[in-house]
């Protein structure tokens, strides 16, 4: 096997918001490492090894985007600017950043979360379901409907 990355160019996706031009750039290895470490710090595991609590998961979207978005001139944006953008835009940019950076596939991540929702406490479960619904991803929402239907059938 021969891996040749000599002419690999990082992926950038231009986008415009309110007349301003921006670039969503592929995450570097260091960015992915920092993001994954931040995500891991927010998880609490039970004795059985499953996730039992997730703290401030919503901050992760904006954290990753602040590391991947620049103005057309190359300036990074503070989290407060990205956080002021519409949720549907932030969610789409977040998924796109993960895709162009070859990070975990969103559907795989959500499949894992769905499998472990029953292990969360009621408040954490409710918060995660609400957050997942807010992403407005058809596949994720279909899986959530199945999850909720099966949960009601068990009650």
Per-residue pLDDT of the chain (155 residues; tens, 9 = 90+): 888 888 888 899 999 999 999 999 999 999 999 998 988 888 888 787 777 777 887 788 999 999 999 999 999 999 999 999 998 899 889 988 988 898 865 455 566 666 666 666 777 777 777 777 766 666 667 777 777 777 777 76
pLDDT at 112: 64
Count of C-beta atoms within a 10 Å radius of residue 102: 11
Which of 33, 37, 32, 39 lies closest to 101, judged by CA?
Answer: 32
pLDDT at 107: 54
Find all residues with CB under 8 Å of 85, minimum gap 6, and list them: 17
Q: For the chain, which domains are there?
A: 10-103 (3.30.2220.20), 104-155 (no CATH)
pLDDT at 155: 67
pLDDT at 84: 96
Distance separating alpha carbons of residues 142 and 43, to the nearest angstrom: 25
Distance separating alpha carbons of residues 34 and 10, to the nearest angstrom: 18
């Amino acid at each position: 096997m021969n891996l040749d990355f000599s002419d690999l160019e990082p992926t950038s996706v231009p986008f415009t918001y309110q007349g301003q031009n921006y670039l969503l750039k592929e995450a570097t290895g260091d960015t992915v490492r920092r993001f994954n470490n931040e995500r891991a710090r927010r998880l609490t595991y039970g004795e059985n090894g499953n996730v039992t609590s997730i703290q401030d998961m919503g901050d992760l979207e904006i954290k990753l985007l602040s590391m991947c978005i620049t103005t057309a001139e190359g300036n990074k944006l503070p989290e407060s600017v990205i956080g002021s953008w519409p949720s549907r835009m932030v969610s789409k940019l977040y998924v796109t950043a993960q895709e162009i950076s070859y990070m975990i596939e969103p559907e795989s991540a959500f499949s894992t979360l769905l499998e472990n929702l029953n292990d969360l406490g009621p408040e954490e479960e409710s918060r995660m379901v609400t957050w997942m619904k807010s992403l407005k991803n058809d596949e994720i929402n279909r899986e959530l409907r199945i999850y909720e239907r099966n949960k009601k059938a068990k009650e």
